[in-house]
Amino acid sequence: MTFSIIRVARTVLHVTDLQASRDFYVNALGFIETEHDEEHIYLRGLEEHVHHSLLLKKADKPVVEVLGYKVEKEEHLTKLEALFQSQGLKTKWVEKGKQRAMGRALRVHDISGIPLEFFCEMETVERMLQRYDLYRGARIQRIDHVNCAVPDVQKAYDFYIDQLGFACSEYTATEDEKIWAAWLHRKPTVHDQAFMNGKGPKLHHFAYWLSEPMSLIHCCDVLASMGYADAIERGPGRHGLSNAFFLYLRDPDGHRIELYTGDYLTSDPDFKPIRWDLNDPRRQTFWGHKAPDSWFNETSTFIDIETGEEIAVHEPLLEQKKPEFII
């Protein structure tokens, strides 16, 4: 590999009402607001030393503009450009200064059509980890992962493993050993990027890491107190797959955010991917309770890196099972 992707580093979401988004993400969930202007809010977690990991842009439609990955060195961006171009995939540069606090960025569409952005440079800011006086809501710490529905998980898996240098921590397989879902990482945790079999490409959710489960429980209380009980879609619970303690929320535009804590280290090269059977219900909820239909059926739409048009979606290659077997 002639480049090194460090980790998933930011999500750019379009939202229809910036104040409603601020109330939810900052006042209820406890994100730190680095700055804002008429059309943007830049948010980060308490642990993050970078300008932002979540950018909310005011727009007419609540779509997903791009999923961002940080690379180790600036020159890795041109290596990535060559790779994507060699595969006939669309690429586009966003020059330094065009995006607040960001160096030059390479935007591409991956093998499934997902809009990705690679960058090396982002302004650094004060890390709030020990500003306990600022802890509130879920005490959001840092971005952890993104999860996308794609129609061909095997194709996405092969591209990320073989071309981008990701490793697999866990996966779900069908009886005839087809990959139904995969959890892939660059940083040494369970994942940066997950893929699930489904109509796509679509963003299922993006996730933030918390330091312990009580932050998540406290967040439920805060949400209920502030009139956001309906935003709680699934959980709290524990995933079998990843072992993480989880809570899924829907923001005011319907984008899904997961609060996540309690996964494990995957740094060792001899770590063997953990296989889950598609018929094992413990993989999605270790305690056995089921997710609501909305969790399976509702996802966020991506837009084209050049035109801004919504990306066409395709039906999954593998036959869809009953909802409880989808993850």
* Least distance in angstroms from the C-beta of 205 to Fe ion: 6
Distance of closest approach, residue 300 Cβ to Fe ion, in angstroms: 14
- Measured from the CB atom, is 65 or 144 closer to Fe ion? 144
Of 147 and 300, nearer to Fe ion (C-beta) is 147
CB of 52 to Fe ion, least distance (A): 20
Q: Which of 207, 249, 257, 311 binds Fe ion (CB under 5 A)?
A: 207
Can residue 258 be called a binding residue for Fe ion (CB under 5 A)?
Answer: yes
Only segment of 83-91, 144-152, 169-177, 263-271 that touches Fe ion (CB under 5 A): 144-152
Nearer to Fe ion among residue 233 and residue 258 (C-beta): 258
Which two three-digit tokens encode residue 23? 């109330």
Burial (CB < 10 A; 0-12, 13-18, 19+), residue 132, is exposed
Beta bridge partners of 168: 184
Tokens read off for 16: 């229809």
Residue 92 Cβ vs Fe ion, minimum distance, rounded to whole Å: 28
Q: Which stretch binds Fe ion (CB under 5 A): 16-24, 50-58, 206-214, 284-292?
A: 206-214
300 part of the interface to Fe ion, by CB under 5 A: no
Closer by beta carbon to Fe ion, 147 or else 197: 147
Residue 201 tokens, joined:
């490409």
Residues 273 and 292: their CA atoms lie apart, in Å, by 28
Q: Does 147 bind Fe ion (CB under 5 A)?
A: yes
Q: Give the three-state DSSP class for 32.
A: strand
C-beta closer to Fe ion: residue 34 or 215: 215
What sign for the dihedral angle of Cα 9, 149, 167, 105?
negative
Residue span binding Fe ion (CB under 5 A) among the ranges 14-22, 96-104, 258-266, 303-311: 258-266
Judged by CB, which is closer to Fe ion: 59, or 232? 232
Region of 181 (left: φ > 0; alpha: ψ -120 to 50; beta: rest) is beta
Alpha helices in the chain (DSSP H): 18-22, 76-86, 153-158, 213-225, 293-297
Nearer to Fe ion by C-beta: 34 or 169? 169
For the bound state, the minimum distance from the C-beta of residue 147 to Fe ion, rounded and expressed in Å, comes to 5
Distance of CA 214 to the CA centre of its chain: 22
- Only segment of 109-117, 204-212, 227-235, 295-303 that touches Fe ion (CB under 5 A): 204-212
- Report in angstroms how near the CB of residue 254 gets to Fe ion at its nearest: 17
Distance, in Å, from the CA atom of 194 to the CA atom of 104, rounded to the nearest integer, reads 26
Stretch that binds Fe ion, among 115-123, 146-154, 219-227, 262-270 (CB under 5 A): 146-154
Query: Residues with Cβ < 8 Å from 272, sequence gap 6 or more?
Result: none
Contacts for 166-171 with beta carbons within 8 Å, 24 or more apart? 166/5, 166/192, 166/193, 167/266, 167/271, 168/273, 169/242, 169/266, 169/271, 169/273, 169/274, 170/241, 170/242, 170/273, 170/274, 170/275, 170/276, 171/273, 171/274, 171/275, 171/276
CB of 125 to Fe ion, least distance (A): 26
> Which range binds Fe ion by CB under 5 A, 21-29, 31-39, 147-155, 218-226?
147-155
Residue closer to Fe ion by CB (options 22, 283) is 283
Residue (of 197, 195, 212) closest to 260 by Cα position: 212
Please, what is the minimum distance in Å from the beta carbon of residue 99 to Fe ion? 26
Rounded least distance, CB 128 to Fe ion, Å: 24
Measured from the CB atom, the residue of 84 and 183 that comes closer to Fe ion is: 183
How far lies 236's CA from each of 25, 42, 72, 240, in Å?
18, 27, 35, 13
Q: For binding to Fe ion (CB under 5 A), which residues are involved?
A: 147, 207, 258
